[in-house]
Structure 1
């Protein structure tokens, strides 16, 4: 397998039988997730638990209808194809990552699940060549849209929310998916992965111009690689993460900026002045990443700080030790 190239199938390359099989496995997974949510909420929020039980039962009905379609058109043997086999297909967070974050987070997860499923069925219906299958997929898209409203009602059950707030919430989610997530991944990669070559070169040569050239090459090269990898890994058709070009730009630019931040100080001719400023820039970068993770990705701040700052410090130390050897 070529590094950076996904071994998963693109949705557009799936046969119609594989699309139906993927829908069946997705309905099975969603029903199990909803029942898990119901079990988690049953003691404290019995009304919400009942809603999730009902949604799970409806997903079972969708699965049976899809199995009937598959049997009629393709026979009894259903190919094994799951979400993780398809590039860009929406993923579900494990229940244990959600269960400790409260009722609001579970409600939001359910609403996102139904939005993802609706988008999938709308896309799948357009590709179907069989009229009855196309009608079923369209009906399922409408049903998932009804589920999304139902899940949204759970969110607003105890919170005063108007239409404008819901629209802003949807826009915020899309902004995070399209710009923040790939940009944050790029910033982390650029800031951390370039520490070792830049500071190894700096301490090995103590030549600021050479260090700047190596840092620039590492940062720009990493930015190009990350940008193309992000754009090629997911076309956004199913995942809803938005334009691959926008995500590639976000990832590539932030990767380059992350590396250039501590390469630029080496334009200063005095080695120790440049190095001290670069240390300060690295410190600011790592804490900024931790703040962004906390602000947009809902990662607890101290956990994010521990992961990013400790990881960056280890890479920085590795570069300095290697360069001084």
Structure 2
């Protein structure tokens, strides 16, 4: 990699041209990715892609006037201190907020580059152009907001809000809820069976810990392999798998942690078991609420499915452990 101070005027302009061309392609990719889900926002990114292409043409004209038609093969990431673009635009079904944050970071990075390039330039014409582009990039976010205000009507914003909520549920709530349900319910039987069979808190804790982590790993792999999200819009499989695995583990650990009550305490087993039972009660009702809130499941039906089902599993564990 080269230091910025070691770059020639020709190389600075070549980096600027390559950067504007790359940014234009990225904004076009954003527009294509968002066209079906957020058509109004897609048009905003199409306008931004056109602006970046206009910058590229201006830079190319001044470069050809001074150095000819051959561009050095150098990019911004070949220079120390400048960051390469994260290839998030290659991922399908990106959340809208992620795309907007990426665009903001791109604009800020471009502005810093043009300011530094302008300060280092000895050519008056080039210095003026780079300074002008720095000001353009500084106001690019404001222009994007202005474009959004002009294009995103109230009805379009409401429609995009509904779409964003739908994808939030598909990509995060649904896999997280599936994990929480599995972790909270499936670990009840082995945990309470071990508790009543051994009446030893530490041994019970180890059983619950193993069951929670094992279930989390299993659910994470199953969710990640079940669907790549390209057709269903459920998002990146690794993210979904991670959310599912973490929530599965958390669901199991919730009623496992009370068994860290030291066995040396008076009535240690019944103390830990009572606390774990209270935790289970709140876990199951929380799951029922989430199902009713985000999955359009009637609350009483959610209670019947989760609370009653969980109580049955808990009872089975206690009966097996006490046998």
Q: Distance in 2 between matches of 1:249 and 1:187?
A: 12
Structure 1 residue 168, shift from structure 2 partner: 1.4
RMSD: 1.9
Q: Which runs of 5+ in 1 are unaligned?
A: 1-114, 117-159
The residue number in structure 2 matching 1:254 is: 247
**1:237 corresponds to:** 230
Which residue number corresponds to residue 289 of structure 2? 291
Aligned partner of 1:32 in structure 2 is: none
Aligned partner of 1:281 in structure 2 is 279
Bigger Rg, structure 1 or 2: 2
Please tell me whether residue 265 in structure 1 is matched to residue 258 in structure 2.
Answer: yes
The residue that corresponds to 2:182 in the other structure is 189
Q: Given the alignment, which residue of 316, 319, 323 partners 1:321?
A: 319
What are structure 2's unaligned runs of at least 5 residues?
Answer: 1-35, 38-152, 263-267
String of CA shifts for 1:160-206, please: whole Å, max 9, x gaps. Answer: 96222222111111110000111111111000000000000000000
What is aligned with 1:202? 195
TM-score by length of structure 1 reads 0.51
Distance 1:246 1:292 in 2: 20
Partner of 1:44: none
In 1, the alpha carbon distance for the partners of 2:246 and 2:164 equals 22
Q: How many residues align?
A: 170
What is the CA–CA distance in structure 2 between the aligned matches of 1:211 and 1:161, rounded to whole Å? 56
Instruction: Quote the Cα distance in structure 2 between the aligned partners of 1:246 and 1:302.
Output: 31
- State the Cα distance separating 1:302 from its structure 2 match: 0.1
> Cα deviations across residues 124-150 of structure 1 (Å, max 9, x unaligned)?
xxxxxxxxxxxxxxxxxxxxxxxxxxx
Q: Separation in 2 of the partners of 1:236 and 1:250? A: 15
Within the alignment, does 1:228 sit opposite 2:221 as a pair?
A: yes
Residues 300 and 243 (structure 1), Cα distance of their counterparts in 2 relative to 1, 3 Å cut: same
1:164 paired residue number: 157
